[in-house]
Amino acid sequence: MPDIIHLLPDSVANQIAAGEVIQRPASAVKELMENAIDAGAQTVNLVIKDAGKTLIRVIDDGCGMSDTDARLSFERHATSKISKAEELWHIRTKGFRGEALASIAAIAHVEMKSRLRENELGTRLILEGSEVKGQEPCAAPAGTSISVKNIFFNTPARRNFLKSDAVEMRHIVEEFERVALVHPDVEFTMHHNDNELFAIRASSLRQRVVNVFGARFNERLVPVKEATDIVSVKGFIGKPEFAKKTRGEQYFFVNDRFIKNGYLHHAVKSAFEDLISRDAHPTYFLYLKVDPEAIDVNIHPTKTEVKFAEERAIYAIIRSSVRNSLGKYNIAPSLDFDQEDVMNIPPAPQNATIGAPKTKDLNFNPFEQEGRVPAATAARGGGTANWSRNWEELYKVTEKQREETAPMFDADTEPKDTTPVGPTMLDLQRKYILTRIRSGFILVHRRRAHERVLYEKALASLENRAGLSQQNLFPQTVELGASDCALIEDLHEDLHRLGFNIDGFGSGSIVVNGVPAEATDMSAQSLVENLLEQYKNSSDRMRSDHREKLARSLAASTAIRDGQSMAEVEMTDLIDRLFACSQPSLSPTGKPIILTFDMDDIDKKFKVQ
């Protein structure tokens, strides 16, 4: 039998490689844009016709190529970016596999024009299905322009597999955004069928996010910043109240490369835990820098997956830095973080060694804004742990201010001398509490506030010690269905921690001897029913730890109802307890509790004519 193995011609090998690298027009967009960035471009223009099916053109003002390099760039494994295997561990460019241009040329008609800055003339190169059809000198601006026409002309299976223009266009825009988001110092434009879709100037990182996703994002972003030896994290998270039901903007960039990573996504998601409901998706734009030696970017042809050497540590750091930012933000929900330049990354020169990210102020503290918060508070810094103390600070001032406002609020309530010392509370519709803080006033959603307080208390009881149980005068029998009885029996131990004293598990009923202190004014029957209802409901919607669920359910079933009356002492007590919570601004299911009204803003509103 004759030998049957032979080497595939390059054009076939390239076509096979193209199958991996170029799956749709958007893949070509990504590769071409990344090459432009690697070439040090300051401006990158993307031109698309018919969702990329007819034309994809990327024009850059980068370093350009010599005649020979232009030709070589289309060879498989032709790259200027690495030459030795070890260099794979020091990659600072986007490309390094040297297969993008070869792959693109294998499945499309390609025209490249390129000129080195120092040369008078550039070069023009025409390829069709890996074959060079011609090369000639030509006049061209410094930089490179590559046009990819009739993509998949020779691979009908691929061509037929393409989705509608709208879908393909969405993929293209996505790739465009991913590149634009990591290079705020580069100007980008994008046209589709002669319509301008994007024209974004070089700017700060925050401004770039806003330019890409729209002005409404500005108020939604909270900065994140953390520098450790293993990883530095910076960027933005979306405020919890803007979390979406549909998967929204979630971006990880590692060393300026967009990546997908379920594990790290989980780190962010878990940092948002108890601030947003389980089915909501937090927004984030997180830029990680790690030592290139500590990641492997070469595990996926499109390089959207990387392996981290210290994945667990990075997980913990991301989680805590996001948590930290959420804490800072929560301390004053109305505080605007519109600090345009704080997160700005100074553009690094191409090929420069990129060290730890530098920001203008490594100790950026959003509370150090003049006139916002008492200086003493600012001096202590504004971590999550300082929550209650910060609020106390706001409060002390209010007590002094109280005299001025008291008459107004007290007018038709109790006489002054019976009112306990403390900030004046005004009840609104038996639903909200209005009270003053130093910079204005706040409206507190009573029920949600109470839920938050009860929830954190329940969690603490579940974790540490038994909650206080109030022994019933007479044990109460509660009738339940068989499955509910079984559920109660399952939860028995935790219920005991929460302050329930239950026994007599029988057929269809239980005996309740004691209930948590705050639930004494409810009948045992309705309390238990309510609790089970909440618990079962949340188990459907939310995949969460059962203790957390139990705490949330108990809080929801025992919290004060809208319409129930509250004495001023009770309101004061509630507010005090709320501000001692670790997350006072959001209910256990992620709904806002506090609205802040700033005197300055109010003054401004009255001024406008």
Radius of gyration of the chain (CA): 31
Q: Side-chain half-sphere of 378: how many Cα atoms within 13 Å?
A: 13
The region of 97-105, 285-293, 444-452, 464-472 touching ligand ADP under the rule CB under 6 A is 97-105
d(CA 370, CA 19): 58
The H-or-E segment that residue 460 falls in is: helix 446-463
The region of 7-15, 36-44, 130-138, 435-443 touching ligand ADP under the rule CB under 6 A is 36-44
Q: Is 36 in the site for ligand ADP (CB under 6 A)?
A: yes
Binding to Mg ion, residues 7-66 (CB under 5 A) = 35
Phi and psi (nearest 5°) for 423?
Answer: -65, 145
Smallest gap from Cβ 84 to ligand ADP, in A, equals: 14
Out of Mg ion, ligand ADP, none, what residue 330 binds, judged by CB under 5 to 8 A for its kind, is: none
Task: Return the residue of 14, 15, 96, 221 that touches ligand ADP, per CB under 6 A.
Answer: 96
The region of 56-64, 128-136, 186-194, 429-437 touching ligand ADP under the rule CB under 6 A is 56-64
Task: Return the residue of 27, 31, 222, 519 that touches ligand ADP, per CB under 6 A.
Answer: 31
Task: Return the residue of 100, 169, 331, 332 that touches Mg ion, per CB under 5 A.
Answer: 100
Strand partners, 287: 234, 253
d(CA 283, CA 246): 11
Say if residues 285 and 209 touch (Cβ distance below 8 Å). Answer: yes
d(CA 256, CA 354): 11
* Tally of CB atoms within 10 A around 250: 17
- The amino acid at 578: L
Say if residues 324 and 383 touch (Cβ distance below 8 Å). Answer: yes
Q: Which residue has the tokens 């929460």?
A: 498
Smallest gap from Cβ 56 to Mg ion, in A, equals: 14
Smallest gap from Cβ 85 to ligand ADP, in A, equals: 15
Q: Is 78 in the site for ligand ADP (CB under 6 A)?
A: yes
Say if residues 435 and 423 touch (Cβ distance below 8 Å). Answer: yes
Task: Return the residue of 63, 172, 231, 571 that touches ligand ADP, per CB under 6 A.
Answer: 63
Task: Return the residue of 18, 59, 100, 335 that touches ligand ADP, per CB under 6 A.
Answer: 100
Smallest gap from Cβ 140 to ligand ADP, in A, equals: 12
Task: Return the residue of 27, 45, 79, 589 that touches ligand ADP, per CB under 6 A.
Answer: 79
Say if residues 144 and 43 touch (Cβ distance below 8 Å). Answer: no
The region of 100-108, 339-347, 357-365, 571-579 touching Mg ion under the rule CB under 5 A is 100-108
Binding to ligand ADP, residues 104-163 (CB under 6 A) = 144
Smallest gap from Cβ 575 to ligand ADP, in A, equals: 59
- Chain position whose Cβ is nearest to ligand ADP: 95
- Give which of 310, 311, 307, 288 is closest to 296, Cα–Cα: 307
The H-or-E segment that residue 377 falls in is: helix 375-380
The region of 100-108, 166-174, 509-517, 560-568 touching ligand ADP under the rule CB under 6 A is 100-108
Task: Return the residue of 25, 52, 95, 235 that touches Mg ion, per CB under 5 A.
Answer: 95
* Tally of CB atoms within 10 A around 483: 10
Strand partners, 115: 143
Q: Which residues in this chain contact ligand ADP in the complex, by CB under 6 A? A: 31, 35-36, 38-39, 60, 62-65, 73, 78-81, 95-102, 144
